Structure 1
């Protein structure tokens, strides 16, 4: 709860900093605010479940852990907004405040105990992202991305809300524990079809928020048109919060329905389709940014395996696997988007050729990008390897061996498109337009080094965080 209050107050305070007309103050101020929120959030660790707003919001270890992931991810992402500072971006204060307000929605999504609080959290997060997707107003691709995201997001929000309404109609409550009891002990069998349809509609709405197939079609176009800095936020923070909310819905609300074969088959099919479309789609891309968009879809598939294999509690192997995977994926993705943004800002290219010869001109950028690609591919000694290992282990323990074999095959496919940037950076020569070193500030270099270090630490010492839930 302290995190929500702080983020809201600091977001408003950051807007007033914009009146100073000095962008140089905004970046350190925003990072200081996030560091403060991260520290305050940790105070609630092991304090037990703390209910707020008539038990609509519950702060426990689960919510503290995922709040830490989204806040840390945003903190590590902010250094790559320095170009906005240097260029004197007039709306920088508003951008940072929108990020802080969107984090309020993310915290609500990981701490909700009431379906209406889930809806409020999703909308708080989504509305800020609709604005940020179209923040480059002079770019037609950014305008198109914002329009697509807004229209499709609004439509699926309506589907999610209709699903919540049907679940309420069948159970008579929005409270998670009471819905779970009503699902396991139905009073009127005639209301069961309404409940199942509501569950399916909620599955569609949540699937859109986490870019799961077949509700992923917006992802490549929106990521490509959205400014790279905000696309990175969308790919990490939104996905981590979305899966935390999805996990709560799966574990606390519909475990009985899963056992009855209502929810689980649909989720399993969605998982396999997401893995297939995400990995095969990424192979065909020539733009690194679109490749990362399809990569985001594929990683939603791996995280869905954790949902399929859940063991009925928020402190089990699946929850720990999803937490560790979300952290490892977020760190590696921020690193990849950070390098891509620095390259695109100077070379004005987002395709693989824009990375040609980067190892010669900027060894640090090439090294960080390599570590990020290897982690996303799940190569040993990186956080991504153990993220997949924990997810796959939980699935095998629960008997989903076929799904894990399919996921391993898709992981092998992913190696192809994750190696393409590495080949471009180390094995191809620069051309006339890409032979100058990329300008990287010492602040950004430190952030890149920290991201690479975190990725490798998670791969060498996974036990530090693998079982904290």
Structure 2
């Protein structure tokens, strides 16, 4: 709860800093704010606190996922330095929107009441709608914001309709009480089962849209491509981490009963297979790196869905730990990838693979960082991505989903092709007139890239630092 209060208060305070137009002050202040809140967040480790009559609960689960969200935001901020150097007049507003969106993300990992789930999604989403269209003179950015807003509003309606049906069937919005009503049906409950099951499926669809799960993924490539790269990275990591934590809480705490699993489990399994297939096959055909990373984001939603399918009925079990580790490894690698893509695009005005030609000669640090992130996203050993997939697949095998794991492994092999394409361009192709100059990199950005690469390798060598934390 301290994190929510601090983010809200400091987000408002940051707007007043903006009136002074102190852009050069804003970036270090923002980093200090996030670093301080990240430290404060872990002070709640080992304790359980409830707020608003139990609608929000701060426990180890919420503290761990909040830590990933805040760490991701902290290492992402240095890549906004171009806005500082260009004298972006709306920079304070952008930063405040990011802080407010983090409030929504924390609510998503801490909710115990469907009303708080809805509020968290909306606080996070409204900020993202605005930031997607923040490049106002760019038609692609305008298109991305409009598509994201219209699709988001539509699927929010589906989510709300599902919540209304759940309330009609169970008489409550509290997760534990929904679970009790499902497992201990009252007289006449049989006639309400269709309402319960339809509500359950509509909620799966609504949250599936937020995490880019197929077949509700169709907005992702266009929105990621049009959204400014800095905010697309935020969307790809923080929104997905918070969304899957919320997804896990919903399934584990509200629908753990066997009769409920009979409805959502086949649907979730089908979504998982379809997401893996579309994400990986779609990424192969892309020529734009941002679109490739968008399809990559879809495919990684499929791997995280495996952990949801294979959950063992506990919020602090193998599936939860798998999602926690995978989210951290994925976020670290994805921020590094988007960071390099942004720096290259800013300097060379290109977002295709050819824009990376010869980067290993002109900018060895950028090439090394992008290589480590690509290898991690592909799941190559000695990177965090390898153990992320290992923990998720292990949880699935333990629960008998061997066929699903085999399919996921095949899709992982497919992903190696498109993750190697940037590496080949950087190390095996020569520069041309457009790519001969070195890409400018500030000290903040170089430090962030080195930290991200070190974290990726550290997670691949010592996974026990995070694995089993829940």
Common fold: TM-score over 0.5: yes
RMSD over aligned CA atoms reads 0.6
Please say if residues 131 and 231 of structure 2, whose CA atoms lie closer than 8 Å, have aligned partners that are also in contact.
Answer: yes
Q: Distance in 1 between matches of 2:172 and 2:364?
A: 57
Q: Distance in 2 between matches of 1:305 and 1:443?
A: 36
Please say if residues 183 and 257 of structure 1, whose CA atoms lie closer than 8 Å, have aligned partners that are also in contact.
Answer: no
Partner residue of 2:202? Answer: 201
The unaligned stretches of length 5 or more in structure 1 are: none
Q: Does 1:189 align with 2:206?
A: no
Normalising by structure 2, report the TM-score: 0.99
Partner residue of 1:12? Answer: 12
C-alpha deviation, 1:376, in angstroms: 0.1
Could you say if the C-alpha distance between residues 26 and 447 of structure 1 is closer, same or farther in structure 2, counting changes exceeding 3 Å? same
Partner deviation per Cα, 1:7-48 (whole Å, 9 max, x = no partner): 00010010000011110010011111101110110000001x
Could you say if the C-alpha distance between residues 180 and 462 of structure 1 is closer, same or farther in structure 2, counting changes exceeding 3 Å? same
The unaligned stretches of length 5 or more in structure 2 are: none
Please say if residues 258 and 264 of structure 1, whose CA atoms lie closer than 8 Å, have aligned partners that are also in contact.
Answer: no
Q: Does 1:268 align with 2:302?
A: no
Partner residue of 1:337? Answer: 338
Q: Distance in 1 between matches of 2:95 and 2:40?
A: 20
Please say if residues 255 and 261 of structure 2, whose CA atoms lie closer than 8 Å, have aligned partners that are also in contact.
Answer: no
Q: Distance in 1 between matches of 2:315 and 2:261?
A: 20
Partner residue of 1:326? Answer: 327
Q: SS at 1:31's partner residue?
A: helix
Q: SS at 1:58's partner residue?
A: strand
Question: After the TM superposition, which parts of structure 1 deviate over 4 Å for at least 4 consecutive aligned residues?
Answer: 257-260
Q: SS at 1:51's partner residue?
A: strand
Alignment of 1:262-411 (within 5 A): 262-411=263-412
Q: Distance in 1 between matches of 2:115 and 2:451?
A: 38
C-alpha deviation, 1:259, in angstroms: 5.8
Q: Distance in 2 between matches of 1:146 and 1:73?
A: 23
Q: Does 1:104 align with 2:103?
A: yes
Partner residue of 1:28? Answer: 28
Please say if residues 282 and 292 of structure 1, whose CA atoms lie closer than 8 Å, have aligned partners that are also in contact.
Answer: yes
Alignment of 1:218-229 (within 5 A): 218-229=219-230
Partner deviation per Cα, 1:215-241 (whole Å, 9 max, x = no partner): 000000000000000000000000000
Q: Distance in 2 between matches of 1:228 and 1:5?
A: 28
Q: Distance in 2 between matches of 1:174 and 1:82?
A: 43
Q: Distance in 1 between matches of 2:121 and 2:365?
A: 37
Partner residue of 2:170? Answer: 171
Q: Distance in 2 between matches of 1:92 and 1:173?
A: 42
C-alpha deviation, 1:149, in angstroms: 0.1
Partner residue of 1:447? Answer: 448
Q: Distance in 1 between matches of 2:208 and 2:157?
A: 13
Q: Distance in 1 between matches of 2:260 and 2:163?
A: 21
Partner residue of 1:90? Answer: 89
